[in-house]
Structures are given as structure tokens and as C-alpha cells.
Amino acid sequence: MTNLKMIGAVLALSACTSEVSEESQQVGAQESPLAAEAPKRVIVNFKAGANKANVLRELKGKELLAIHGMNASAMELPAQALAALDKNPAVEFWEEDAPRKMLAQSTPFGIDMVQAPLVWPSATGANRKICIIDSGLYTAHEDHQSGKAITGYPTGWNADKCHHGTHVAGTIAAVNNSVGVVGVLPNGVNLHIIKVFGDDCAWTYSSTLADAANRCVSAGANVISMSLGGATKSKTEETAFNNAWSAGLISVAAAGNDGTNRLSYPASYANVISVGAVDSTKTIATFSQFNSAVDVSAPGVGVQSTVGALDLNTLVVGGTTYSGGYVDGAARSAGVTGTLVNGGLCDSVGAWAGKVVLCQRGTIAFVDKVNNVKAGGGVAAALYNNVAGGFAGTLGDGVTSTIPAISLSLEDGNAIIAAGGIGQAATAASSFTEPASGYDFYDGTSMATPHVSAVAALVWSYNTSWTNARVRKALEMTAEDRGTAGRDNYYGYGIVRAKNALDYAIANP
């Protein structure tokens, strides 16, 4: 018998980024559950005809999950019982039940970048089903009310306290109506939601993910979308995705947000498409993991999509309202008013008593900018981007501020200055209502992943008799080459392009 336990870092998806490195924010909580002397969570794969109940009784264990479609279970066992697993004649192999976390960051720019509108006259995705494995979906959202059938598992799949799964679903399928945003597939793709993250948004496990993948197959899905990952490989999990591929599905997963060459799973399995993230200039994101497993890349910086909460962050200057994003950790306020001053980069403390301070992103971390504004007597900080578009910001894990801070796009920051807003009265407001139909900008390979999942379904819907191999090859062979000529470890084959992929699939059987 083979002991496949892989002790290592966990890791995964972050919904937003800050000037603080992603990797530094993930230290500590990533230790493998097998490293402690508490009961151990493992996956046990049984031989045909084995009596699981006897094994549990002998080892004084507890079954946590019988993995759908496999003769395997997630179990909690006493630490001293692990050695006995290697000798148990009923056990094929066992391994760590590796944690999996969320990777976690108008027409959003990514929709045009992946050429989705160019394909809509030919294919809509209405005959395809995408299985989203994530934190659920707020199905009452105004942008998820028509044009698609939505099913899910388990009970509670139709709620989403984390908002991550709802954001992913919006990129895939936000409907083409008079409000909000539009997705890659706004005209009727079917969704099946598997909720693997609870309301605490903490990690899930490889056993749960294997179970979810098998349930996607059973639900008749064509594409599996996973904006999640972890550093530890799982044979059980890999088998589930190999089986999904053999059943004709395409599985897509986030490459990871560490900004390193570390492999992430399930993205790095051969039968899963690994996705890196690019910004609006088609440049690879600094947080996007780069390695030999990266297949393609897609928009993953400043991606606007649906969330299950109304997060209103505004700056009113000279009668004009500028809408932005919440800087995580900052105070909420119904509105604070003061004269607007230009703090530049806000990399030092100014004489800002009673002022609302406009700061440009760059040079120092968001938390340092906000602290400088507060130290100078400022009543609110408005941080505008240093590249095109909006952004999601954070003061850091567990860090808070007593003054409100909001994020604005580069365009809005420049417009405020050009319109003579400096020196005028300005009101900054930040409020949060949940549940509600809202929209937000997230960064992460998590945000790139649904672009690719949706493009795969869009291309495939033109001809449902095509194989998963044909569609995957079309995506890879027609991706817009970026970085080093040919495939490289950052962009993979390049940025996915729906129209080019469809033309290739038609011409190359």
C-alpha cells in the first residue's frame, strides 16, 4: 500500500489584492492539518468489497464524507491510527484530505478581451451546462433572474455569504438586461452550483472537491469551473478529474495567487486547464502563479461582477457622484464632508485637518496611505488607481481604520482633478447591505478562471458533438500569444479568444 500523504502549504484564492504581497497574507493558516497532534482528516480509498464500517470501528474513526462515485471516504482518525492504515487489507491507499480555499480578486473589459460578443451571433451556450464549485450563488440577484436554468447541491447552495461564487457566476452568466453587468454567456447557459465553502469562507478539502467533481459529472455538466486551489496534490482528487475528462467534461481551475512558480491543485493536474490572470493591458498580474502547468490566461485584475451584497462607496464633488470600491478594513460612514485636497501619493503626512484627501495608488501600501491621511487630520481617504480601471483594495488581514477609505478608477481620479474638484466640498460615503443585488471589482486568478470556463462552453455550444479534447485544443492553439514567443510559464499559450477558437474548431477536426 502507498501512503500518499503530502504535508505542505494550503492555499488559495483571494478575492482581492493589496500592496501587501499575497504570499505574506497566507502564511500560518496554511499548515497541513496532518501537522498537528489532534485527530487527523484523511481520505481512505477502499478495495472492492471492503467493509468500511469495520475499518472505522477498528480504528476508532469517524466518517465525514462518502465521496460520490468512488469507493472512498473522508475520515477523521486518531493520529496513532494512521500507521495501521498502511497494513489494513481493506485499504487501497490513504492520503491527507488537503485543504482547498477560495483563490481568492456595463460590459466588464474582460468580456470583449476574450471575444465573447463576436461569437454570440453564432452560439449562445444555451445547450451547455457549467458546474461551478465554489461558495454558492445568491440566486435572488437581479442579474441571475432569467435566461438560464440553475440547480445546485447541497442544501444552502442558493445563498452565498462569501460572495465569491456569485462573482464567478456573474462573469460566466450575468444576463443581458438593463442593469448591472453582462457575462461571457448572457443568453442562457445552464448552471449547476456545488457549494463547498461555508459561510466562514474558510478552506474546504480535497475529498469535498473530488466529491463535487463527481457530482458535476452526475448532474450532466459539460464544464467544471473552480476558482480555488491548494498546494498539496491528492491522488483521489486527480482521479476524479481524470474520470471527468474521460466522461467528456472540461475542467478549469485557477493557477493561484502567490506570484511564485509553485504548482497549485487541482489546476496542475494534466486533465485540468490551469488559468493565469492578466490586467486590462493584457499584462500578466504580479500575483499570478507561473509554472509548467499554466495553460492559458484571462482577465483577472479589476474584474467587475455580481455579488450578493450592496456595497456603496461614493465621492460626491461639485454635484457629481463618483462610484468606487470599499477598501477592506476601513470604517463605514453614511457620509463625511470636508474640503477635497490632493495628497499626491500620500506617502507622507500632510496638513489635512478636516479634509477629504485624494491619494493616488502606488509607492506605499494602502494602509500606510490611510494612516498618513488620518495622522494629518483627514476625515476620509479616496484612493484612485495608477492604471486604467478600478481596483479592490485592503488594509491587510485584521487591520482596521477609524476613517472611511474608498477606491476610485484612474479615470475618475483624473476627472476630479481636471474638473477643478480640488478645493471644493466633497462627501465620502461607504455603506454595506446584505443580502442584496450588488456589484464589485475583484482581483485574482479566481476571476480569470470563469472567463475561460465560459469561453469553453460558448465555443462548444456551436457543435455539441465536438469532444472535450477538440475544444481544449482550440482554446490553446488560438490564444493570443503574450510574453515569450510560444507557450511560456506565465501566460501559458496566451489569452483565450472565443472567436478564434471557434474558427479553429470548425476548421480543424
Instruction: Calculate mean pLDDT across residues 34-48.
Output: 79
pTM (two decimals):
0.79
Domain borders along the chain are 40-96, 111-306+441-507, 310-433
Q: Look at 177-181, 457-461, 474-478 and tell me which has the smallest mean pLDDT.
A: 177-181
**Superfamily name with CATH number, domain 111-306+441-507:** Peptidase S8/S53 domain (3.40.50.200)
The pLDDT of residue 459 is above 80: yes
Asked if 111-306+441-507 and 310-433 have one fold, the answer is no
The pLDDT of residue 35 is above 90: no
Q: Which residues contact 432 (CB under 8 A, 6 or more apart)?
A: 309, 310, 311, 312, 326, 332
- What is the per-residue pLDDT across 335-351, written as a single tens digit (0 to 9) for each? 999 999 999 999 999 99
The pLDDT of residue 447 is above 80: yes
The pLDDT of residue 240 is above 70: yes
CA–CA distance, 189 with 212 (Å, rounded to integer): 20
CA–CA distance, 499 with 308 (Å, rounded to integer): 31
Q: Which residues of 409-425 are buried (b: 16+ CB within 10 A; e: fewer)?
A: bbebbebbeeeebeeee
Instruction: Tell which CATH classification among 3.40.50.2300, 2.60.40.60, 3.30.70.80, 3.40.920.10 matches the domain 40-96.
Output: 3.30.70.80
Q: What is the pLDDT of residue 16?
A: 39
The pLDDT of residue 11 is above 80: no
Beta carbons of 5 and 93 less than 8 angstroms apart:
no
- 327 forms beta bridges with 393
Beta carbons of 192 and 222 less than 8 angstroms apart:
no
- What is the per-residue pLDDT across 79-109, written as a single tens digit (0 to 9) for each? 889 989 999 999 999 999 998 877 654 899 9
Question: Is the omega angle on the peptide bond into residue 266 within 30 degrees of 0, that is, cis?
Answer: yes
Active site residues: 134, 164, 446
- What is the per-residue pLDDT across 308-334, written as a single tens digit (0 to 9) for each? 999 889 999 998 999 999 999 999 999
- What is the per-residue pLDDT across 364-396, written as a single tens digit (0 to 9) for each? 999 999 999 999 999 999 999 999 888 879 999
- What is the per-residue pLDDT across 117-169, written as a single tens digit (0 to 9) for each? 999 999 999 999 999 999 999 999 999 997 789 999 999 999 999 999 999 99
SS3 category, 360: strand
pLDDT band at 29 (very low <50, low <70, confident <90, very high): very low
Beta carbons of 259 and 22 less than 8 angstroms apart:
yes
The class of domain 310-433 in CATH terms is alpha beta
Nearest residue to 193 via CA among 148, 137, 144, 249: 137
CA–CA distance, 225 with 217 (Å, rounded to integer): 12
Amino acid making up residue 509 = P
